[in-house]
Amino acid sequence: MIALTGTPGTGKSAVAEILKRKGYRVISVTELARLHDCILDESGEEVVVDVEKLSKFRFDGVVEGHLSHLLSPDLAIVLRCNPLVLKKRLSGRGWSEEKVMENVEAELLDVILVEALEECSEVCEVDTTNLSVEEVAEIVEKIIVGERESYKPGKIDWLSVLEDRLDEVVRL
């Protein structure tokens, strides 16, 4: 099982669609949760998944979603994006200021990467900021087939990159 994970807005769903078209077995966390009756609540805007229960099930393929790294995958591919770019993308979705800032801060502080490193035996990270969806999908394919050395975690440090612009990150 391969987790395609990252903060919302980093390109997971778009990359997953390309992988599907290329013949990969791909399922979203939500679809997998529905399949195994692991939805706790679906009444609001978001679907609440019983991650603990869902992690007991295996899927032979790519599981896409910002919770996929919590499902005991063999490999987690964490998509990353410069928080300033991410902020524009999420604001463009019409999300509330609170929800945008929560996700931007999570990306700035490497929250999903840290979780993936704690939960998964192998983790790769890809900076999607200046890449097309097709380019990211090609990189993900390379990682899947074993070309992982260039994508080992630890090369992306948004706090250092944005140290002079942090006020722009935390202000909408």
**Multiple choice CATH, 2-81+112-154, 3.30.70.3040, 3.40.640.10, 3.40.50.300, 3.50.50.60:** 3.40.50.300
| Position 166 pLDDT exceeds 80 | no
| Position 170 pLDDT exceeds 80 | no
Of 96-105, 113-122, 156-165, give the lowest mean pLDDT range. Answer: 156-165
pLDDT category of residue 163 using cuts at 50, 70 and 90: confident
| Position 76 pLDDT exceeds 80 | yes
> What's the confidence (pLDDT) of residue 171?
64
> What's the confidence (pLDDT) of residue 100?
94
Closest by CA to 63, choosing from 123, 4, 149, 15, is 4
| Position 164 pLDDT exceeds 80 | no
| Position 45 pLDDT exceeds 80 | no
- Pairing between β-strand 48-49 and β-strand 2-6 as defined by DSSP bridges: unpaired
| Position 42 pLDDT exceeds 80 | yes
Average pLDDT over the chain, rounded to an integer: 94
Of 21-25, 50-54, 95-99, give the lowest mean pLDDT range. Answer: 95-99
Could you tell me where the DSSP H helices lie in the chain? Answer: 12-21, 29-35, 51-54, 83-92, 97-108, 111-119, 133-144, 158-161, 166-170
Return d(Cα 21, Cα 38) in angstroms, integer: 27
Per 3-state DSSP, the chain is made up of helix, strand and coil in percentages (nearest 5) of 50, 15, 35
| Position 148 pLDDT exceeds 70 | yes
Closest by CA to 66, choosing from 77, 74, 75, is 77
DSSP 8-state secondary structure symbol assigned to residue 74: S
